Amino acid sequence: MTYEAPVNRQWTLKQRPNPGPISDSCFEFKDVPLPSLKEGEFLVRNRFLSFDPTQRGWMERDTYLPAIPLGGVVRALASGMVVDSRNAHYKVGTRVTGLFGWQEYAVGNGNEAFRTLIIPEAVSDEAALSVFGMTGLTAFFGMEDIAKPKEGDTVVVSGAAGATGSIAAQIARIKGAIVIGIAGGENKCSWLLEKAKIHHAIDYKNENVAKRLRELAPKGVNAFFDNVGGKILDEVLLRLSLKARIALCGGIQGYSGDADASIRNYMSLVITRSKMEGFLISDYAPRFQEGVTALAKWLSEGRLCFEVDVQKGIENAPETLRRIFEGKNLGKQVLAI
Amino acid sequence: MTYEAPVNRQWTLKQRPNPGPISDSCFEFKDVPLPSLKEGEFLVRNRFLSFDPTQRGWMERDTYLPAIPLGGVVRALASGMVVDSRNAHYKVGTRVTGLFGWQEYAVGNGNEAFRTLIIPEAVSDEAALSVFGMTGLTAFFGMEDIAKPKEGDTVVVSGAAGATGSIAAQIARIKGAIVIGIAGGENKCSWLLEKAKIHHAIDYKNENVAKRLRELAPKGVNAFFDNVGGKILDEVLLRLSLKARIALCGGIQGYSGDADASIRNYMSLVITRSKMEGFLISDYAPRFQEGVTALAKWLSEGRLCFEVDVQKGIENAPETLRRIFEGKNLGKQVLAI
């Protein structure tokens, strides 16, 4: 009888991405032995990997987090279940989220900089990674603290069918604003109007964004929640009303080194006395419960919905990451492994 | 004996400027008769015309003010003296500032949208148009309300030897910040260090701005008062510290339709959780006295100085306007007429 040691399949970062699509050659897929646990540690079997635009930045360079080291496991949020434990707080069978990476098994200790959180019983893994996860909370605090939509405001959301944008657009609708979602393709725009029940959708792949904004926001845009940057940001800058707020959440158009990511119309901020402010969800950690409570209430009232795009198989991690930069996902992109 | 009717020499707008330097062909110089006054009106003989980057926008298109109509007198701030009056509040001999335009004589009534203000006896015309005028107040409120320099902060000011920048840089120094002024040419940089007594000067015409910013702001830039936009703004964006404030005052680099006015590095606002906010001095009209009081106190204490670049002759108005876009002025640009 031979003993087969348990194996952890993982993706490591082999080289940093060049401008353009992220090539398979950036990654290496390998089998490594499972680590043994020290006192205080626990072992998580990952179930769903989370895919987020910010991962490209982590691969490229130091940002608000140090760059992923070459040879290191690709950093990613994930959900999973504790399957072995030497930590009384994280018992076997507990479902958790954390920065577990592109691998089947991860070790935690509950004192990570990005702390392992226990998923409440009533919450699915998919919801924990999306509406109650970093993307849903990003939507909540970006709207609550920066974009600040008011009753009767006109609010624009770009990337409106994505994980963050889809929640942000609905929050603005719940706050009484007229909401214009910008997304790519008929399918996403139909979802925005029919499922997310926002007022207007602009299909940037098939419509003239500038012309549609003029039609749909004749009095100007009071708040803009931007996930895209580049040309779309530049068009919205030209349509700002007085004292408008731009919540700069992400710039997916620029993440691939696209020359079009530059903007020219920022002087419109002066003419309209407006502001453009960046934010990161990690700063809001002390207030996460406030966000989760509000989002759970709206969900339970049927005023908020969310979508999760589930791909399958850890071998497809690089391909799944490319989906979000190609705009293939509707809602939150995850990979079941 | 022949009677010679009094004449008002004035410059009118003949055509809107094309991208690039403002051509003489945009203007027409003509003699018109002096108007007679109605009840409540007064006649001002202009002494100094004020030259401001925003005038280019007024010539081109509707902005926060309607565009100057073709055939209309070129809109400009000016100082002058009341020489005839049918208004008890504005007596003959009173010195005033207002939107009197490029002409020798203007009619006011004290109820203008941009109201005619009486210059206090202790204040010179030059000071009324500069440190106590729109440019000085712009520096004051942009620092006070938006850039908010604190003791020990590193603060960058672009256009630092200009009318607004020179005051802004000194205010940041008075507030206890380490101040880096960016200006063009040795003469301006010497003035910043020796007269304005700010800590560092970068000569963007002869030095590498990115390199100098790295050296002079090793911990990053806490606040940036920007009069220039374009490449300089793009470089400072890469050097922001956490929670930095950019007061977007003007974008003289972009006013001439310069293709380089675009920026690429705005996503740095997300990484550093910073904001970029535009403002216009007209919104602060109810608080002007607060600004004038603070500026007068600093002047009297010898902590603040100001420069006025005086050109001569109304026939030189177009040439004088070009000076500010070519960066020829040190401090406030005026024309004695």
Please indicate, yes or no, if residue B301 is contained in any of the structural domains. Answer: no
Could you give the CA distance from residue A105 to residue B134 in angstroms, rounded to a whole number?
63
Please indicate, yes or no, if residue B173 is contained in any of the structural domains. Answer: yes
Last residue within a domain, chosen from A266, A282, A298: A282
How confident is the model at residue B223, as a pLDDT?
Answer: 98
Indicate if B271 and B322 belong to the same structural domain: no
Give the domain CATH number at B36.
3.90.180.10
Look up residue B137 and give its DSSP letter: H
How close does chain A come to B64, measured CA to CA in Å? 6
Indicate if A121 and A145 belong to the same structural domain: no
What stretches of chain B adopt beta strand conformation (E)? 7-13, 27-33, 42-50, 78-85, 95-98, 105-108, 117-118, 154-158, 178-183, 200-203, 221-226, 240-248, 275-278, 308-312, 332-336
Give the domain CATH number at A192.
3.40.50.720
Q: Is A67 on the interface with B (CB under 8 A)?
A: no
Q: Do A63 and B271 touch (CB under 8 A)?
A: yes
**CB contact residues (below 8 A), chain B span 194-233, against chain A:** 229, 233
> Going residue by residue through chain A (337 aa), what tens digit of pLDDT does each one get?
556 668 999 999 999 999 889 999 999 999 999 989 999 999 999 999 999 999 999 999 998 899 999 999 999 999 999 999 999 999 999 999 999 999 999 999 999 888 899 999 999 999 999 999 999 999 999 999 999 999 999 999 999 999 999 999 999 999 999 999 999 999 999 999 999 999 999 999 999 999 999 999 999 999 999 999 999 999 999 999 999 999 999 777 666 655 578 999 999 999 999 999 999 998 999 999 999 999 999 999 999 999 999 999 999 999 999 999 999 999 999 999 9
Please indicate, yes or no, if residue A240 is contained in any of the structural domains. Answer: yes
- Please say if the pLDDT value at position B131 is more than 90: yes
Indicate if B196 and B152 belong to the same structural domain: yes
Indicate if B126 and B166 belong to the same structural domain: no
Report the candidate in B303, B324, B327 with the shortest Cα–Cα distance to residue B203: B327
Q: Is B61 on the interface with A (CB under 8 A)?
A: no
Q: How far from chain centre, in Å, is Cα B228?
A: 12
Indicate if B241 and B311 belong to the same structural domain: no
Please indicate, yes or no, if residue B288 is contained in any of the structural domains. Answer: no
Strand, coil or helix: A148? coil
How confident is the model at residue B251, as a pLDDT?
Answer: 74
Q: How many helices (H) and strands (E) does chain A have?
A: 10, 15
How close does chain B come to A63, measured CA to CA in Å? 6
Could you give the CA distance from residue B280 to residue B54 in angstroms, rounded to a whole number?
11
Pairing status of strand B275-278 against strand A275-278: antiparallel
Q: Do A267 and B276 touch (CB under 8 A)?
A: no
Indicate if A164 and A259 belong to the same structural domain: yes
Indicate if A139 and A277 belong to the same structural domain: yes
Indicate if B161 and B278 belong to the same structural domain: yes
Indicate if A266 and A147 belong to the same structural domain: yes
Q: Which domain holds residue A38?
A: 7-130+307-336
| Nearby residues of B9 by Cβ (< 8 Å), 6 or more positions away | B29, B30, B31, B103, B104, B314
Which of B226, B234, B275, B284 is most worth mutating to test chain A (most A CB atoms within 10 A of its CB)?
B275
Look up residue B21 and give its DSSP letter: S
Question: pLDDT, tens digit, for every residue of A234-270?
Answer: 999 999 999 999 999 977 766 665 557 899 999 999 9
Q: Do B266 and A269 touch (CB under 8 A)?
A: no
CB-based burial of residue B225 (10 Å sphere; 0-12 exposed, 13-18 middle, 19+ buried)?
A: buried
Could you tell me if A241 and A154 are in contact, meaning their C-beta atoms sit under 8 angstroms apart?
yes
Indicate if B278 and B158 belong to the same structural domain: yes
Could you tell me if B42 and B107 are in contact, meaning their C-beta atoms sit under 8 angstroms apart?
yes
Please indicate, yes or no, if residue B296 is contained in any of the structural domains. Answer: no
Please indicate, yes or no, if residue A57 is contained in any of the structural domains. Answer: yes
Please indicate, yes or no, if residue B64 is contained in any of the structural domains. Answer: yes
Please indicate, yes or no, if residue A1 is contained in any of the structural domains. Answer: no
As given in the structure block, the two tokens for residue B176 are: 């206890």
- Please say if the pLDDT value at position B224 is more than 70: yes
Indicate if B139 and B262 belong to the same structural domain: yes
How confident is the model at residue A241, as a pLDDT?
Answer: 97
Indicate if B194 and B273 belong to the same structural domain: yes
How close does chain B come to A165, measured CA to CA in Å? 16
> B47 forms bridges with which residues in the sheet?
none
CB pairs under 8 A between A and B: 94
**Nearest residue on chain A to B283, judged by CA atoms?**
A273
- Number of domains making up chain B: 2
How close does chain A come to B253, measured CA to CA in Å? 11
